[in-house]
Structure 1
Amino acid sequence: MQLTFSSSPALRGQRTLALTKQIFVFLLSATFLVTGCKKDPEVEPTPTNSLTAAAGPDQNVQVGQVVTLDGSASTDSKGAPLSFQWAITRKPAKSTVSLSSPATAKPTFTPDETGEYELELTVSNANGRSTDKVLVAASVAQPLALTSNITVKTVLNDRVANPDLPDYIVTKSIVLTSELTINPGVVIAFERDTRFDINDGGVIIAKGEAGKKIRFVGVEKNKGYWVGIMVYSGSNANVFEHIDVLHAGSRVMLSGVKASMALFGGGKAQIGLKNSLFSDNDGYGLYVQDGAILREFSSNSFRNNTDAGILLDAANVAKLDAASSFTGGNGRNVVEVFGSAIRKGNVDEIVWTNFTDNSPYRITADLAVSNGWKLNPGVTIEMGRDAAIRISDDAYLSAKGTPTQKITITGATRTPGYWRGLICYTTSTQNVIENAEISYGGSNAIVSGKKTNIAVYGAKATMTIKNTKISGSAGHGIYVGYNCILNNDASTVNTFESNAQANIQIDK
């Protein structure tokens, strides 16, 4: 017998719904089971900045003073290297400054105006960035007045950073009778017609540096505003190095001479001068009186002085070095030598150098030579009106030029008969004139009524002259006295031109 089951449509729907619910519950349970077995994903942490910028403490400085910023205290807690970047975020309205090396920890700048400068430092690396600011306040220090004589050991310091502004102002003339040290960078400004005397017992030590010169200037920057520096002291410690002396020469200081610095001969004043400038003075830059001592002299410059750069005696000329310059726009671009003597001393031969800038010597009056005297190739000597050179017994003149560097002795004005001439009295065989030009002598008779460029005179006086041009004499070219000696070929190995009388006159 076959059994048959049947149901109504309503019953079948209920069964289907129940089955569907069972399946849904099963699937949902399985999903929760699977999901619950999975590991939760990792959550990435938010990066944290490990950098701290430190721009350093605020600073109070002077205008013209170099400011060094310092960000070296900046840190990264993770120890990674830092990159630096500085910027000026605020400065006075007229300032034009900028930073040097702004991408370093310690850049510099120099304030050019009074006021506040705000600077921002940014440090950065892969771990982040950080900023900090520093404030620099710039002001101008006021100069101190020097109103009394210096009678105790004194040191003057560089008080004002700006080299265009004075550290000290001399309001009336002062005298130094003790030791004065002036440190690099000091600027001393002098009021109208004031002067600075370095007296006996006084010692001045003024050593500047190439980048920090010591400057003696006028309160107003005009030629001849203040008198100058007068040195009476004979101390061998007196020294000026890397100094400027400007705007002096307002009044006569010594022997009717105006100069920015003068050395008094009576007390054997002495000074060492190196790497210094004498400029924009009314009168001479430097005056060295006969008897004073230029202990050292090297690499000095003389510019824009109303007269010559330097006036000195013949004995000190040998101290001048070839590197010093005397031709920078002076009233007379010469080394001016007043009438004086080259005397016997500790050396057998005095040498006059040829300057690199080709400055000539100008001898204003008679020069007496009683020592060996050598002129280096290229030397030019200009003789003053009616001046003579006299080579005495036991002395000699060695004037040996070269074909390309001739020695010249001529008139300060190139006209016949302007100066008197050169006369040699000595028997030395070292008397030689070679590769030279001697011209425009014979203004007046130099000996025995004779006008001449060159005279050889006195018992056995001796001179050798070769390869030399002798010209423009108002008398003879060469005059040789009785029983004197001139090389036999003098008439053929030399050149003669435009001499008023005989080229060579020999008394027999």
Structure 2
Amino acid sequence: MALLMTSCKKETEVNPTGTLTANAGADQQVQVGQVVTLDGGASQDSQGKPFTIQWALVRKPAKSTITLVNATAVKPTFTPDEVGEYELQLTVSNENGKSTDNVVIAASVAQPVTINQNITVKTVLTDRIANPDLPDYIVAKSVSVQSELTINPGVVIAFERDTRMDINDNGGLIIAKGTASQKIRFVGVEKTKGFWTGLMLYSGSNANVFEYVELLHAGSRPLYSLIKAGMYVSGTKAQIAVKNSLFAETTGYGLYIQDGGIIREFAQNTFANNTESGLMLSADNVPQLDAASIFTSGNGRNVVEVMASSVKGADEVEWTPFTDKTPYRINGELTVTTGWWLNPGLTLEMARDAVIRVNTGGYMSARGTATAKITITGAERTAAFWRGIICYSTSAQNILENAIISNAGSVAIVSGKKTNIAIYGTGATMAIKNTRISGSGGYGLFVSYGSSVNADVMTANTFESNAQTNVLIEK
């Protein structure tokens, strides 16, 4: 839009002993929504005497409601809210008289760029439109990223209905690094939950990053199989770092990490108002999660979901509780093949008939405290809801201390036995102390021939409301 810039008029009162001159700065062309800084710093008194400053808005578009911020400062600001011209007058005054000068700010609206082709060459998307509520780019049809895509701070990308963006593994990667004040936003053209499909990440590049990103309004269609998500990280090599980002208003999961996908870094993220849980991932990605991320803001399930997978690795794996007390939801079978350390205050909620298997070569060290117990219970707080814990491991580091193990024994876990905890196999062992074991559909604790527990297991723990004998030790 072309705007005619009107001329500015300068008026000066002259005192025989000195001259005071106002200078309101050069006229400017800006965008609606862009913060404008005026500058009266070139105003002067010929004798160097101090003077007062007063800015006034003398003309603006008819529907504008803007006001000046710090109208007596050398550099006040305002934000144009309508297309058109804004004329401001600077008055400076002292004992030598007063002087005025006007400046005109012309505000226009830039148009978004349409993306309707695959990105096959190195591309940088820039912040074209100052107003963060308006899109810089509109994705009009589903596109594939097959080269390096960098998204600068402040960029807003709006997606038409049911469109998606795939970041492929044949050269594709995405670098989306905003700032605290200039976030990058992926949104629907219509700002409604489940408007566009989402982002699919196949790329295994270690440069993939989301930092200060907001991903909203996705989940109109599945990204893979029947799974809807804001972002789906797929395959055995796909990886991304996610920091200071928001996944919200999705019909489905906020972020879904397929088993084999990799979270390289994860910190200070928020998941809100998604119809499923905010985050679904495999067990080997859990150690990357930070305590400060938030998962309890109105999601369909305010939990971190862990799919059927393995706790594995060369070294001991540590799971940490969240500051907002979000529980982990274990779906299916969780197999432990390395050292697994559960920190005090952590809660595991087990899905229907889910089971924890501590295999030979692994161990489970769950040591709570008197004030921060470790809780492993059913996703529904009813007796006999999940299957239980079975330990085949011979490690002396298997321990449950200051823990709550409840509501297992839904189906037999071994040898036809229903139980909250089973120690099974030659040499298998676990120490259990100061732990409450309750709500089993069978035994509280089952110890098979050739396995062992601490000798005082029956007196060192509390057993409540188990359907069969609290402790069965085969001799």
Q: Given the two structures, how large is their TM-score scaled by the length of structure 1?
A: 0.89
Residue deviations 1:191-236, cap 9 Å, x none?
A: 0010000001112111000010000000001111111000000000
Matched, 1:450 2:417: yes
Match of 2:399 in 1: 432
One-letter amino acid of the counterpart of residue 322, structure 1: A
Matched, 1:221 2:221: no
TM-aligned CA deviation for residue 81 of structure 1: 2.5
One-letter amino acid of the counterpart of residue 93, structure 2: S
Match of 2:176 in 1: 206
SS at match of 1:492: coil
Q: Distance in 1 between matches of 2:279 and 2:82?
A: 39
Could you say which structure has the greater relative contact order, defined with CA pairs below 8 angstroms and 6 or more residues apart?
Answer: 2
One-letter amino acid of the counterpart of residue 87, structure 2: E
Q: Which runs of 5+ in 1 are unaligned?
A: 1-44
Residue deviations 1:58-84, cap 9 Å, x none?
A: 111111101111111112122222322
One-letter amino acid of the counterpart of residue 214, structure 1: I
TM-aligned CA deviation for residue 101 of structure 1: 2.0
TM-aligned CA deviation for residue 47 of structure 1: 4.3
Q: Distance in 1 between matches of 2:273 and 2:386?
A: 28
In the TM superposition, what are the counterparts of 1:73-472 in structure 2 within 5 Å? 73-200=42-169, 201-266=171-236, 268-345=237-314, 348-472=315-439
SS at match of 2:218: coil
The answer on whether the counterparts of 2:18 and 2:46 sit within 8 Å (CA) in structure 1 is no
User: Which segment is superposed worse, 484-493 or 325-334?
Assistant: 484-493
SS at match of 1:490: coil
User: Which segment is superposed worse, 75-84 or 352-361?
Assistant: 75-84
Distance 1:382-1:159 versus aligned 2 partners, 3 A rule: same
Q: Percent identity?
A: 66
The answer on whether the counterparts of 1:49 and 1:129 sit within 8 Å (CA) in structure 2 is no
Residue deviations 1:24-73, cap 9 Å, x none?
A: xxxxxxxxxxxxxxxxxxxxx97466111111121111111011111111
Q: Distance in 2 between matches of 1:327 and 1:83?
A: 53
In the TM superposition, what are the counterparts of 1:61-80 in structure 2 within 5 Å? 61-80=30-49
TM-aligned CA deviation for residue 478 of structure 1: 0.5
One-letter amino acid of the counterpart of residue 192, structure 2: N
SS at match of 1:98: coil
Q: Which runs of 5+ in 2 are unaligned?
A: 1-13
Q: Distance in 2 between matches of 1:463 and 1:87?
A: 78
The answer on whether the counterparts of 2:15 and 2:97 sit within 8 Å (CA) in structure 1 is no
TM-aligned CA deviation for residue 394 of structure 1: 1.2
Structure ranking higher in helix proportion:
1
Q: Distance in 1 between matches of 2:84 and 2:279?
A: 44
TM-aligned CA deviation for residue 96 of structure 1: 2.6
The answer on whether the counterparts of 1:425 and 1:456 sit within 8 Å (CA) in structure 2 is yes
Q: Distance in 2 between matches of 1:257 and 1:119?
A: 55
One-letter amino acid of the counterpart of residue 501, structure 1: Q
TM-aligned CA deviation for residue 95 of structure 1: 2.5
* Pair member with larger Rg: 1
Q: Distance in 1 between matches of 2:226 and 2:313?
A: 28
Q: Distance in 1 between matches of 2:54 and 2:304?
A: 55
SS at match of 1:491: coil
Q: Distance in 2 between matches of 1:465 and 1:142?
A: 66
TM-aligned CA deviation for residue 452 of structure 1: 0.2
Match of 1:25 in 2: none
SS at match of 2:214: strand
The answer on whether the counterparts of 1:297 and 1:321 sit within 8 Å (CA) in structure 2 is yes
One-letter amino acid of the counterpart of residue 166, structure 2: D
Structure ranking higher in strand proportion:
2
Q: Distance in 1 between matches of 2:330 and 2:210?
A: 27
Q: Distance in 1 between matches of 2:70 and 2:18?
A: 26
Q: Distance in 1 between matches of 2:119 and 2:295?
A: 33
SS at match of 2:380: coil
Distance 1:479-1:46 versus aligned 2 partners, 3 A rule: closer
The answer on whether the counterparts of 1:265 and 1:288 sit within 8 Å (CA) in structure 2 is no
SS at match of 1:50: strand
SS at match of 2:114: strand
One-letter amino acid of the counterpart of residue 262, structure 1: Y
Q: Distance in 2 between matches of 1:95 and 1:467?
A: 68
TM-aligned CA deviation for residue 190 of structure 1: 0.2
Matched, 1:55 2:28: no
RMSD between aligned alpha carbons?
A: 1.2
Residue deviations 1:460-482, cap 9 Å, x none?
A: 11101111110000000000011
Residue deviations 1:476-504, cap 9 Å, x none?
A: 00000112110111111111110000111
Q: Given the two structures, how large is their TM-score scaled by the length of structure 2?
A: 0.95
Query: What is the aligned counterpart of 2:455 among 484, 488, 508?
Result: 488
One-letter amino acid of the counterpart of residue 422, structure 1: I
Q: Distance in 2 between matches of 1:384 and 1:325?
A: 21
SS at match of 2:459: helix
Residue deviations 1:175-199, cap 9 Å, x none?
A: 1111111000000000001000000
Q: Which runs of 4+ in 1 moved over 6 A?
A: none
Q: How many residues matched?
A: 461
